[in-house]
Amino acid sequence: MGPVMRSARAPLIAIALVWASYAGFRIVRSTPDETPIETASLDPNPPHPPLVARPPEASVAIEAEADAARGADPETAAVPAKEAVAPNPLRSEDEELLEILRGPSEDLDDRLRAFIEKYPDHTAARALLVLQLLAEEPRSPEIDDEIRAHAQLLRQIVPDKGLPDLALARLEAGAGRIELGRQYLFEAMAKDLSWSPDSELMRMRIEADLAAGRPSYKSLANALNTILPSCMGARNLMRSFLYTEDEKGEDVPMPPPADPAALDLHRRTARALLQVGKAIQQDGLVLVQNLVGSAVLNGACRALEQTGDLAPEEEALRERTKAIQSEARLFTHLVEEILFSDPVLMTDYLRDLAAYGERRAGRRAMMTYLGRDPAE
């Protein structure tokens, strides 16, 4: 699962820098082990005085004014007035899964296998195992067969989710069966492309901590200590279909085919991957996912540009990346001051993160913070 970052001072800044580093993400060659990202350890003693809580009506008014100024763009609009998003009680098997994930990383695959044997219909656990096994390099044919079996079963358990098809697309394309992989990619387009076990596990951790009454800074650390294997999987999916290595060993878009039928298939593939990137960019739970989705979307746009067939609306989607990058930089500077200065605000942020995603949760926290009366 990779090393855990530990810092004795201001670790939220380190976490935010991890988010912001994805702003410059591009499709480049990397080592094959695809170590998932983990961060942890938060300082419980912020250097700032606590903020005075504001009435809910103040935040709602501030958000409404901001939405009006933006023209109520649904992509950037603030979250509607809160309706007391209470954490859902976790199932006993969810609590058991969280306990498994707290253990050492060395035998995580085996522990997940045992868990799935006990709970064969647990979607998040089986999907996590698929992504963990896909990240291993090199893999034996037996492991590939195991991945294939789990992914095919997931297609039956959650037929409306695109992740099992995307995992099979990556598996088959990586094994040289490009056309079979492309078929799975196209089949995923009619399904929900934004769902991932990463987000499910993060929500579980937030719900468990809020229900247990744990300190908000510990809850935030637990949430951000969630592995994100689907992010690296999205990048490798791009490589499998649209990119090749140049003479320097760097990844570059494949040259557009000269044959008209092959060129049409190449464009359809690029647009399918653009939709994958768009879904993660817009609906990923945390900024890291939004930024990785932007990178996949940008890579698909780059491939379409080379074919001379990038539509204006596709270019507009690429421009949306700049707003996400700006938010990442803004959160880097303000997240520690805002969240650590008021435990109640941090708890509200966690509930909003689980319900609406990090971008909207961050906007709400900042508007509440900036809407304070300076005299308070």
Phi, psi of 63 (to 5 degrees): -65, -40
Tens-place pLDDT, residues 259-273: 999 999 999 999 999
Domain boundaries, the chain: 18-27+51-63+85-370
In this prediction, residue 369 has a pLDDT band, given cuts at 50, 70 and 90, of confident
Decide: 57 and 367 in contact? Cβ < 8 Å.
Answer: no
Q: Which of 50-54, 122-126, 234-238, 367-371 has the lowest mean pLDDT?
A: 50-54
Cα angle for residues 253, 161, 33 (degrees, 5° grid): 50
Reduced 3-state DSSP string for the chain: CCCCECCCCCHHHHHHHHHHHHHHCCCCCCCCCCCCCCECCCCCCCCCCCCCCCCHHHHHHHHHHHHHHCCCCCCCCCCCCCCCCCCCCCCHHHHHHHHHHCCCCCCHHHHHHHHHHHCCCCHHHHHHHHHHHHCCCCCCHHHHHHHHHHHHHHHHHCCCECHHHHHHHHHHHHCCCHHHHHHHHHHHCCCECCCCHHHHHHHHHHHHHHHHCCCHHHHHHHHHCCCCHHHHHHHHHHHHHHEEECCCCCEEECCCCCCHHHHHHHHHHHHHHHHHHHHHHHHCCCHHHHHHHHHHHHHHHHHHHHCCCCCHHHHHHHHHHHHHHHHHHHHHHHHHHHHHCCHHHHHHHHHHHHHHCHHHHHHHHHHHHHCCCCCC
The pLDDT, as a whole number, for residue 373 is 65
Cα angle for residues 136, 109, 19 (degrees, 5° grid): 65
Residue range 195-208: mean pLDDT, rounded: 94
In this prediction, residue 375 has a pLDDT band, given cuts at 50, 70 and 90, of low
Tens-place pLDDT, residues 276-309: 999 999 999 999 999 999 999 999 999 999 999 9
Tens-place pLDDT, residues 38-93: 333 333 343 333 333 434 444 444 344 434 444 444 444 444 444 444 445 689 99
The pLDDT, as a whole number, for residue 314 is 96
Residue 111 has pLDDT above 50, yes or no: yes
Maximum Cα–Cα distance for the chain, whole Å? 70
